[in-house]
Amino acid sequence: MSVSGPLKNAYVEEWMRNALYLPKRPALLMLNGGGGSRKPASDEDILEPRTGSPPLYGYGGDKGDLFEYYDAFGVHSQAMHEAVWKLDHLDKYNFHALVQVGKSTPKPAKWHPGPGGHLLRAQILAHHYLRLLDEAIISVLAALNGENTMLKLETLLETTTPLEQDPTVNEFKLPPPLYCDDFFCGSPASCAMTFEPIAQGSLLELVVSPPEPKTAKPTIESQNNSVWHTQLITYDQNAVVNARNRGAQYLDMKYVLQGNKYAGPLVLGVKTHKKHHMLFCQPPGSGQNQAPIGRNSSVLVDGKDSPFELEDSFYLTHTIRAPCWATKHQLEPGNHTITITPTNADGKYISLSAVIWF
């Protein structure tokens, strides 16, 4: 995840909180970017070795308070700054070796590590995760041997069993957000999307009608505009085709679910857990053949009119993120059907890339 701008801490916190509310309650290891080593004022400068330890949480930069705030909830961080604190005066770990060497561009970025920095990061992560694996194996073997000093095997298995999908069953609670807007971070959110790779769920799983989107394979090529379909977004087609022609993989597939007035209504079904608005997001830079969903469709929630409103949270009004439209009325906890019918006369597509509910 790469974030920048005045709201970057809010974005990071939003991601962290949603990840912590996932059923398996994962531990998070946040990697702070950059090469980590000090940049000398000139090539002739010789850096003196540093002594002591790096300041606690200071290596998180302006996110250090976030890492400290969520430390007790399983959020940890690792930064190159911390790793090379006492080493960046050495040739192997200095700014030149970790950031500049091996880059093909004549004026390489000075904030992003080069091959040497990436290799060091990989070695650090390998050490970290292999150590955790080693400790887990020792714990399991000890439990199998009936050693009283370790957890029983039954206890270990219980702690790895996923919690129920209903977030209201989980009593786990996070403290109030530091930076994130309460609209997004006040409650655990569920998200279904069309972009791949998909982490939480496919938007197609919510489709009640028409049935075709569930069975049709997403394509790069244009499809029949008289039915709802999943297709690679127009502005990304050339990049995918060119990559494939070079024999390269292209895993970041920006598919969208789209339809127009000829395709008729789209019916989605969701189960909400908290009284809240439901958000429908369109991809950024949708192109000339895409129509804003909030102004070009009629919306029924459980058969009742509930027009879209552009969510005016500071997330969306002060950034270039994808436009998200919210239902005007909040949905009560329970099962709901949402019917979206394109109404624009020009035949442009109504496209969806994500749906968010609470």
Look at residue 338 in the predicted model and tell me its pLDDT: 92
For the segment 16-39, the average pLDDT, to the nearest whole number, is 80
Look at residue 339 in the predicted model and tell me its pLDDT: 93
Look at residue 322 in the predicted model and tell me its pLDDT: 62
Look at residue 346 in the predicted model and tell me its pLDDT: 82
Q: What is the pLDDT of residues 190-205, one digit of tens each?
A: 888 888 767 668 888 8
Q: What is the DSSP string of 155-224?
A: HHHHHTSPPPS-TTT----PPPPSSS-HHHHSS--EEEESSBS-SS-BGGGGEEE-SHHHHSPPBSS---
For the segment 168-197, the average pLDDT, to the nearest whole number, is 79
Does residue 184 register a pLDDT over 60?
A: yes
339 plus 245 within the same structural domain: yes
Structural domain harbouring 35: 26-144
Residue 172 lies in a domain: no
Residue 153 lies in a domain: no
82 plus 198 within the same structural domain: no
48 plus 195 within the same structural domain: no
How many residues belong to the chain? 358
Residue 180 lies in a domain: no
Say if pTM beats, i.e. exceeds, 0.85. no
Asked whether the beta carbons of 13 and 185 are under 8 A apart, the reply is yes
Residue 182 lies in a domain: no
134 plus 252 within the same structural domain: no
Task: Give me the sign of the Cα torsion angle 62, 65, 66, 71.
Answer: positive
Q: What is the pLDDT of residues 249-258, one digit of tens each?
A: 777 788 889 8
256 plus 135 within the same structural domain: no
Give the DSSP H/E element, type plus range, for residue 119. helix 115-144
Residue 164 banded pLDDT, cuts 50, 70, 90: very low
219 plus 351 within the same structural domain: yes
- Count structural domains, the chain: 2
| pLDDT top residue among 165 and 28 | 28
Long-range contacts formed by 186-189: CB under 8 A, 24+ apart: 187/273, 187/274, 187/276, 187/358, 188/17, 188/18, 188/21, 188/273, 188/358, 189/18, 189/21, 189/356, 189/357, 189/358
Residue 41 lies in a domain: yes
Q: Per the omega criterion (within 30 degrees of 0), is the bond before 115 cis?
A: no
Residue 76 lies in a domain: yes
For the segment 95-101, the average pLDDT, to the nearest whole number, is 87
Q: What is the pLDDT of residues 225-271, one digit of tens each?
A: 788 988 888 777 778 888 888 887 777 788 889 888 888 999 999 99
199 plus 139 within the same structural domain: no
Q: What is the pLDDT of residues 274-290, one digit of tens each?
A: 899 898 888 876 555 67
Residue 215 banded pLDDT, cuts 50, 70, 90: low
Q: Pick from 144, 177, 206: which residue ends a domain? A: 144
Minimal CA–CA distance to 16: which of 27, 3, 2?
Answer: 27
97 plus 220 within the same structural domain: no
140 plus 39 within the same structural domain: yes
* 25 Cβ contact list (under 8 Å, min separation 6): 74, 163, 170, 172
Least confident of 20-34, 65-79, 159-173, 303-317: 159-173
Q: What is the pLDDT of residues 108-151, one digit of tens each?
A: 777 788 899 989 989 988 998 899 899 888 888 887 877 655 55
Does residue 161 register a pLDDT over 60?
A: no
Does residue 317 register a pLDDT over 50?
A: no
Q: Pick from 125, 144, 163: which residue ends a domain? A: 144
Q: What is the pLDDT of residues 32-63, one digit of tens each?
A: 766 678 888 877 788 888 888 876 665 556 67
124 plus 194 within the same structural domain: no
Asked whether the beta carbons of 346 and 294 are under 8 A apart, the reply is no
CA–CA distance, 292 with 281 (Å, rounded to integer): 10
Look at residue 310 in the predicted model and tell me its pLDDT: 63
120 plus 226 within the same structural domain: no
97 plus 235 within the same structural domain: no
**Any idea which residue has 């994962």 for tokens?**
26
Residue 231 lies in a domain: yes
| 210 to 216, 217, 265, 289: CA distances (angstroms) | 11, 15, 8, 22
Residue 151 lies in a domain: no
Where residue 323 sits, what CATH number does that domain have?
Answer: 2.60.120
Q: What is the DSSP string of 225-279?
A: TTS-EEEE-GGGHHHHHHHHHTT-----B-EEEEE-TTT--EEEEEEESSSB--E
Q: Pick from 126, 144, 162: which residue ends a domain? A: 144
Residue 345 banded pLDDT, cuts 50, 70, 90: confident
Integer Rg of the chain from CA: 24
